[in-house]
Amino acid sequence: MSALSHRNTTFDELVVGQTASIERPVTANDLYVFAHASGNTNPMHMPGADINHDGKSDTVAPSLWVGSLVSSVLGTVLPGSGTLYNSQTFRFPGRAHLGDRLKISVRCLEKRKKPHALFETRVEKSDGTLILEGVAEVEAPNITIIEEKRNLPLLLLDQHDHFSALVERCKRLPAMPTAIVIPDDANSLGGALLSMREGLIEPILIGSRSRIQRAADSLEADISALQLIDIEDHAAAAKQAVAMVNAREARAVMKGNVHSDELLGQVVKKDGLRGSRRISHVFVMDAPTRNNLFFISDAAINIAPDLVTKIDIVQNAIDLALACGLKTPKVGILAAVETVNVNMPSTLEAAALAKMADRGQITGALVDGPLAMDNAVDTEAARTKGIVSSVAGHADVLIVPNLEAGNMLAKQLTFVARAEAAGLVVGAKAPVILTSRADNDKARLASCAVAQLYDYWRQHGEALGDDVLAQAAE
């Protein structure tokens, strides 16, 4: 029998007094899954519950979820595989809370007519506090079953804590004056107002006064106290936003209900916000399957970048990752394969970029390539391919070969893998928040937080601090 297998205990082998136990923590995922399965959405059982508004968590694990843990011992340990419930009694002298570590124990009390057996059941906290006691009657298995360790299908939960950590960090900064170009629909204006309420930006609205007011009315929002510059023409509105940044009346530009080309056309002009590097766009992604943020570039601006442009794309993405709190980002230069192929220019450019990083021509990160998507982000895939690299399997930043690949990757993660995406244009003299017109308020809020952190990093040469993000990653 292998170390990954488990043998049950048959009724004939069962001994009165025999015990078994397991330990496990109470996690937020447990509470969400139980709420979905049971339909019990009592706010007391939701992570972050603060019923009495005292700033402290009131979250209590549902008692029947705690009770369900007993079956994990009876069904998998003692008696184990083949066990069937007949009855169960519960008493709950205590409560389990988010983060508690629980010990779930069973003890055989009595063997009745074959195959029936009684078990004492208990659940305690790590400090010995009893939170559940009861008695279970089960039908113990009659035949020996050796069960291999079962890998359950992956369960994705639609929750994204990393962006919340970024927003909380940014609340330590003064609101950033932000010129918002054509915020004349509910999405773009709503996102701006949400970011203002969260203390991230001080919005300057530029566009048609009448249309912006109609959008505000649809949101039942009072914008009378906000600066509003009445400009009908989209290009003229974008030009005004750029001029305000150059005049230091604003520190960032945010895209509203306007085409990206109209806004970026003003940004890249000689008298616009062009910097020393080629501008590029970075998606900051928060995916359910990842325990940290990751960055994708360029998926929105540079269509078919050559090697010179890719140097700037890589450095821009590294800078943003550093600004968001990563100490030494791991950058994977993506291609279809992980070996250099002279017939695939993307692999040659990936190898060149990796070597340039080795020689200090690209700084602030570990860079490797070419890497295929699987072995860039999955350690097992990298191990299977025999790739020895400090980046393979652990990439924080993904550099795509062209815009089409990046756009498809980012949208697949958003609409299929349920990731949340923030977006920022980097490499200009100021952050340019380039959200999609289809983005929801949360995406716009996260993009404003990323812009705040990038602006701080540009001014101070260091990240605002990684304590909040580090806690979220744990």
Strands 201-207 and 227-230 turn out to be parallel
Average pLDDT value for residue range 379-389: 91
394, 330 Cβ separation under 8 angstroms: yes
Average pLDDT value for residue range 285-296: 85
Q: Which two tokens stand for residue 14?
A: 């069962």
**pLDDT for position 160:** 52
CATH number of 5-148: 3.10.129.10
Q: In the chain, what are the domain boundaries? A: 5-148, 161-329+396-473
- pLDDT classification of 473: cutoffs 50, 70, 90: very low
pLDDT tens-digit map of 60-97: 999 999 999 999 999 999 999 999 999 999 999 999 99
**pLDDT for position 472:** 38
Please give the Cα distance from 7 to 1 (Å, whole number). Answer: 8
pLDDT tens-digit map of 33-51: 999 999 999 999 988 787 7
Helix (H, G, I), strand (E, B) or coil at 64: helix
Average pLDDT value for residue range 426-439: 86
Average pLDDT value for residue range 425-450: 86
H-state helical runs in 122-268: 161-170, 186-197, 209-218, 234-246, 260-267
pLDDT tens-digit map of 212-251: 999 999 999 999 999 999 999 999 999 999 999 999 999 9
Q: Which two tokens stand for residue 166?
A: 């970024």
104, 83 Cβ separation under 8 angstroms: no
323, 456 Cβ separation under 8 angstroms: yes
Residues paired with 213 in a beta bridge: none
- pLDDT classification of 6: cutoffs 50, 70, 90: confident
CATH number of 161-329+396-473: 3.40.718.10
Per-residue pLDDT at 469 exceeds 60 = no
Residues paired with 368 in a beta bridge: 332
**pLDDT for position 437:** 64
Closest Cα to residue 421, out of 393, 392, 458, 449?
Answer: 449
Can you give the pTM of this predicted structure? Answer: 0.73
φ/ψ region of 144 (left if φ > 0, alpha if ψ in -120 to 50, else beta) reads beta
Amino acid found at 267: V
Do the domains spanning 5-148 and 161-329+396-473 agree at the CATH topology level?
A: no
Strands 397-399 and 420-426 turn out to be unpaired
Average pLDDT value for residue range 183-198: 92
Please give the Cα distance from 402 to 336 (Å, whole number). Answer: 12
> CA angle 411-180-195, nearest 5°?
70
Q: Is 126 exposed, middle or buried (0-12, 13-18, 19+ CB in 10 A)?
A: exposed
**pLDDT for position 5:** 74
> Packing angle between helix 307-323 and helix 345-358, nearest 10 degrees?
50
